[in-house]
Amino acid sequence: MDIILVPAGTNVAAPVDLTSDYGKIGELYNQHSESLSTTWELGTVNNFYAMNISGVFTNLTAGDFCGIQVDEGAFGFTTNYLGVKLKYKT
């Protein structure tokens, strides 16, 4: 699972905090809730990046609805988030 983004600046190693909530219809919205701190390498302004976010979806199953919060406090520039790419194998 990747989040697709385009940074409007350059920052070689940026700390990022990820938090997720997810579950199925009929469950609590935060049936599963996870967080982690990581570092993203963003080397070139205006390039597409696919950053792995699977670490906060370790209990994801078919039919789950997902939300993610990305805290990029140290970037120092705007980041455009385009969406999430998910590949699911049974």
Statement: residue 44 has pLDDT above 80:
yes
CA–CA distance, 9 with 53 (Å, rounded to integer)? 21
How far is Cα 81 from Cα 78, in angstroms, rounded to an integer? 10
Confidence of residue 90 (pLDDT cuts 50, 70, 90): low
pLDDT given for residue 88 in this prediction: 77
Domain ranges for the chain: 2-85
pTM here is 0.87
Determine what percent of the chain falls in helix, strand and coil, rounding each to the nearest 5: 5, 55, 45
